[in-house]
Structure 1
């Protein structure tokens, strides 16, 4: 009778333990769920230079380029997704050409949720290996690499299901927590001791209220906007803590964080957004995207002439970022910038010269957004193609020359 009672109590205890564990996981309490046996693990060895400051790092990053519409394509799963948005496979030859042209930094936008292979948030190891291959090509050229989580923001305000990515709302926080935590744990496992300070993590790309009226512009009187900032703060902190917990070089890795939509508006509109607390000192970078002034840089049709009266908004943004972040020891990385092709190369050259000059004046690095689409024959919308990936040449060499020449003039003035 006593044995029966003992085993009965033991079974009940195990049942309670299982129920508690499941309840904690359902509420976002479990740490990691992914299949660690399938996860790619970093076997390299690189010495991380802990003496490099954030300001020195960003200054050395000089100027960057985005491999857009490639690894971030999320229309398909598997390795074939890389070309699903019409761009060719990334190659070492492409990276070599960019490095030779003077780009010191490459930003790798990567989508992940379409590469989950089970019910535990496990990322396809073949996909992780492919991302790692491209990272290694750039690292071997002495470039800095920004590796991020790109198009994984759920597409509307409704309730998410498993594998839908993340959404910065209280309704979807628990599912977002599980996705972000498991994703960054796996990235941190694959990229750690084998990479020094030349590899930078960027937590989330343009996290926002997709489908909402204020998707792109924070509104202080909007309840959903306030809720989004609160949840984004938690997700940024969660991702950073997950990276740091992986140890080794990731204890000190430089990490980029951003506000809603990576927009200036999310910082300047009296929101409660804040930088996460970091166990490492001086290792955070602010990420922001600047397509300004909007009528010239992105709006279709907008305006095609870059006149002096359009410089004020750009100057204000740079001055504000300098005052509120750079001067306080938090360098700024402009993860995306550019001016869409409106058959106005001469004016775009003027814009690029002014933009690069302003960014370097305040010690910021800017990464050119390149989606491969350059032909403005029918429309001016999203024509951000600069590098011909098939030929290894540039569609607008005048613009690239303007960037590099302005960079050199800026350094000459500083020295």
Structure 2
């Protein structure tokens, strides 16, 4: 019996004192934030923030963060001569802040930050001083919960790889004298990028993590220059994450991205895309993250009142299957009123309804403007006005009930009205000179990633990059993915058209599309020519079927490499469109409010195809399987406006325009 009691006590003691493994800690850390520019200035409050407040940690928990990195400068609070004693008041203050987090169940990372005296002068004396600092940290914090982690040093710029390897080994050894199972986080030299982590010597220890920092690309994230979101941008970020995942898998070391961020004055839409993709990849690869929040240029929490900007819900609720490829554009209805179109890629298949929220003005509060079907991929907002600023975001819940957000996107509606250049639509068939795009300005007739006309050759007051071209004409240049230009065209005859273009490129193969209503799309692949002035004619991948009449054509830049476009030519190949007359497809009521009843042509007594619904100038938004010669379609979730209804049955298409109130 005594032996059994002893074994039970031993088992209970072992269970209660079991140390978190690094991978268990990584999973628990999840998504976090830095208490930056607070305890690491020369003195607390010396920079842009006041003293740390306990209320910050309440805000972190309420928001959903699960780890907080606490950067600390020790130099200014430590004696310069042996025994290098840390000021008692400072040690008490650091412990107080750390305890605020631990008491709330947060994972806390404590480090040595801005220790430039050591990084710039790695002498025997300075090494002894830093050793002493860590011995005192261990003595003070050794009895804290497992959720306290140590990070050896932040961004040791100035130290060589060998010196950082020495530093990591020495400080880890000091920690292990008293704390054999405390999780310790190590990194590489310089600015602790992923590449530096990969070069660092990996300590022989079972309770370690690796860390790296990322503000890539620096021109965008760190300097707020340009935009982010080209295919090359996405590929670059994905490649870095994959390299870190490969390193982690190879050596069995979990990865903590303990700093990442983009400045608040960077392009808003690009910044939201950047954060979204970052968190999606971190979710995909199982990395813990701590976004950099310095209360200033990289501000996340508004510390004065503990409120959060739009990015918070991306940092907490964006996952690898969140809605992405979110695009917000504007057009006009048939009365000339502005309309905002929101399109996205829906990556969930077992979610509940998708909620669309909108905020008016730069600092507006989000409010629901639409609740859509789980499979929805677009939304049309007619309750908007010229000269307004509108920010949209999406959220849904997956099969487990997890809240899943997309990233916000913002649009400023110009007071300009879109109209054909020179008040004359471009004729099809015929040649369209690309410089003769519609009037209306940014976000109305075109979307250019910067406000300057980099070509400087034509229409100089607008942001489309038009420069000089062959035959004393003009060309569109300096293109980048995501840009678009619209042209009002007048198609003389419905039918199939061959489409050709003249382009030049000294960069790399790229691509663009021409998009029309009713999902008609022309795809071009642009080759590399002999130079920027060597123009070649290229043909689209296939003909396109166009409906007759006036409509808007959008030229979308889809490839990541730059090229120049001179003109586009449409040639009618056949006027046999396969379309039956509108009056053969009966829709009632029209206009409609909640439901639409569709009666198919008499020639189709048992149609077995699909009915597709298209929004004005923005492609297909819904598709319905049908059987028999009638169908009832629920349109109650759709915003008011004009739509195109198409029945597809075999090789025949039947089209009808409907109005939804």
TM-score (norm 1): 0.70
Aligned ranges 1:290-369 → 2 under 5 Å: 290-298=214-222, 300-369=223-292
Q: 2: distance between equivalents of 1:131 and 1:351?
A: 33
Aligned ranges 1:178-189 → 2 under 5 Å: 178-189=128-139
Contact (CA 8 Å) 1:180, 1:235: kept in 2 or not?
A: no
| Structure 1 position 412, deviation (Å) | 5.9
Equivalent residue for 2:204, pick from 257, 260, 277: 277
Deviant stretches of 4+, over 4 Å: 407-415
Q: 2:491 — aligned with what? A: none
Matched, 1:98 2:69: no
Aligned ranges 1:188-267 → 2 under 5 Å: 188-193=138-143, 195-209=144-158, 228-246=160-178, 250-260=179-189, 261-267=191-197
| Structure 1 position 72, deviation (Å) | 0.5
* Secondary structure of residue in 2 paired with 1:85: coil
Matched, 1:388 2:388: no
Contact (CA 8 Å) 2:109, 2:151: kept in 1 or not?
A: yes
| Structure 1 position 267, deviation (Å) | 4.0
| Structure 1 position 265, deviation (Å) | 3.0
Matched, 1:399 2:311: yes
Larger radius of gyration: 2
Listed as ranges, the gaps of 5+ residues in structure 2 are 1-14, 323-396, 403-661
| Structure 1 position 232, deviation (Å) | 1.1
Q: 1: distance between equivalents of 2:255 and 2:119?
A: 25
Q: 2: distance between equivalents of 1:135 and 1:407?
A: 29
* Secondary structure of residue in 1 paired with 2:219: helix
Structure 1 183/73 Cα, relative in aligned 2: closer, same or farther at 3 Å?
Answer: same
| Structure 1 position 148, deviation (Å) | 0.2
Aligned ranges 1:2-13 → 2 under 5 Å: none
| Structure 1 position 327, deviation (Å) | 4.7
Q: Greater helix percent: which structure?
A: 1
Contact (CA 8 Å) 1:151, 1:205: kept in 2 or not?
A: yes
Structure 1 149/123 Cα, relative in aligned 2: closer, same or farther at 3 Å?
Answer: same
**Aligned length, in residue pairs:** 311
Q: In angstroms, what is the RMSD of aligned CA positions?
A: 2.3
Structure 1 107/267 Cα, relative in aligned 2: closer, same or farther at 3 Å?
Answer: closer
Q: 1: distance between equivalents of 2:319 and 2:41?
A: 31
Q: 2:39 — aligned with what? A: 71
TM-score (norm 2): 0.45
Structure 1 243/73 Cα, relative in aligned 2: closer, same or farther at 3 Å?
Answer: same
Q: 1:372 — aligned with what? A: 295
Listed as ranges, the gaps of 5+ residues in structure 1 are 1-46, 75-80, 155-165, 210-224, 374-382
Matched, 1:82 2:82: no
Higher RCO (C-alpha 8 Å, min separation 6): 1
| Structure 1 position 413, deviation (Å) | 8.8
| Structure 1 position 406, deviation (Å) | 1.1
* Secondary structure of residue in 2 paired with 1:393: coil
Q: 1: distance between equivalents of 2:16 and 2:71?
A: 23
| Structure 1 position 389, deviation (Å) | 1.1
Contact (CA 8 Å) 2:215, 2:261: kept in 1 or not?
A: yes
| Structure 1 position 318, deviation (Å) | 0.8
Structure 1 290/326 Cα, relative in aligned 2: closer, same or farther at 3 Å?
Answer: farther
Contact (CA 8 Å) 1:106, 1:138: kept in 2 or not?
A: yes
Structure 1 135/112 Cα, relative in aligned 2: closer, same or farther at 3 Å?
Answer: same
Q: Greater strand percent: which structure?
A: 2
Q: 1:109 — aligned with what? A: 71
